[in-house]
Structure 1
């Protein structure tokens, strides 16, 4: 569930339960610790204009408290749309209207160094305010590999893969005054501005105005941002200025940037390779993981999470299988193949998930299964057909059935 969908669903839920005095009293009590008055809560509850008047922080807090209080039965859970970091930041929030930052936001002393690239500096307290206000987001589509955990309702939730030791080490250096500030990179994600533009740059004043609705994604510096939050809780008067890079990339270019700049908290090598998208195969795997039923089903580290995440293969195996079976020479060929493979895996993996087939009883559990599956996918691609259908017998292994590539070949063609 995306953030906007959660906000809209929450707003509708509040309005439909506006006469639930028990819920309103509970919510007023919980939100009171964040500086909200009972009148503020009544305004929020009776406002049925979907997400228009609900801030990110309000969406997180209200959905969390209603979930914890048992009012929503887990139907509106913030863990479905927000990272642990975003939820923790919201829980520390106090409704101080003078300090809250909203878009549009103006940054000064900005220099343009490229068509979609700018540099400036930012004080950590200003960065902290932006983060506390819910302006800085962690975008799983462009950031480092995620980990998975189960939410309070048992659903699978993505979480940022944070190296806690790295965060603690940076926070300690900040507190001691020994940290050498290095550039943090924020991306004004292309296509997210409410008016069709993400920013306005005034070359005479050297200032950039970030427009309303823009998703400000952190591309490089998430561990430092966590460390800043930790350090400021211990010393709110810390005086540190960080270099700040501002990008205006689309999701694809942002992924390339993240792969290119992976230096400190090292990501899995295969995931870095995929992010860089050096080859047509890397491009296809990246897009399959973003738009097909393979989303969340491909391991970025090699070891499969078959029970928690229902993963069926790894980036390496998927990339190698495509490279072995297909001869891709141009971007046009890659896009055409991507469309066909999306149809193929939507059907194959979709059926596997819908029928809840145990991994160990499926063809995916056979060694080198993806290579044989990709050979069958090529037959579909070469056939010129627009659709393909599978049934459970194509995937489910019978008791005692031989676990061989020949078995996969026979079952897929049966």
Structure 2
């Protein structure tokens, strides 16, 4: 400093106590807004109320920035910071961030009450802007450039840096509405990213339907899918008025990035569902998690019927029930991590199976069905059995063709087993599925 710090502190105290600055609400609010929005300093009112005890405790950068604002509103030359601080001290003060000095720690796991289910792996909770700001300040929620609407690229020195695209006028308007109590409650969307938890359960979200409690588990990466402007405005508003109270409804999803992107187009249609449906979702099998992965990531995408019938026009190959039931019966799924590992294997397995026989499974489905059962819905029972045997033997999924190529799928062969109906198709009965299972179980696997 160019002069003694105490000299500046005494001059500031005198100006604050003897002038009518504290009673000029507009000037005080201007000071608060400036220091909050530019430097994340939110303790200004305390400094004005008790400068004698507060000013000596300030970081030198806070003292500079505060004196600069008081001077701008009072024009008292005795507190002009230019007379007290060096050029380097001004540069340091311009980089000050109050959040780094006054950050209230918070971490996962966090539990929210009165949570509701709104769909498969989607839940609704209520969060105060204080909680949301704590999550943001502690880097527990982050801006996901892959699911947000847009981003901007900024060149700094020799590097190109991606930054969030913020409409400052929009943030300012939302901030004002919050401070004035006129903001309409809306829904924010956070995604608890799959495969990010450190919890032993492998679950990013644990929902207790009895107590209506939802817990985000330790280590979970939570991205802001929708609502970054409102979150930024909330933090700005709290910096001006730390006692501000406002709640947002927050939709928590548990998807991979691709699914989160797809969900963005549908979030406005999310509605709470009945208790009966909640019970149904709570009883969901781990095999259903595997099925979700197969439907979204494998060559079977769009080819799985959700009814008991195969729809030729949709080029469907099998049904959800056939696959899910067989996966549930064949694979030992005890945790979500088990389901993820099996899901990874089956995605690759079906990719290689279908890719090895493009005519049979893609190009000439109906022509193939005239003489062969290779793409019959029930034959997928056998394919899952074979996949389980390969998985347990640690045989790569890409080797599936080595086992399929020697199987006789002709209708004549399977007719001899007495399991075809009068139209020459596999009968849709548990007995037939049991026979197919046995056939594929009898295939000899070369264990690694």
TM score, norm. by length of structure 1: 0.40
Larger Rg: 2
TM score, norm. by length of structure 2: 0.38
Structure with greater helix percent: 2
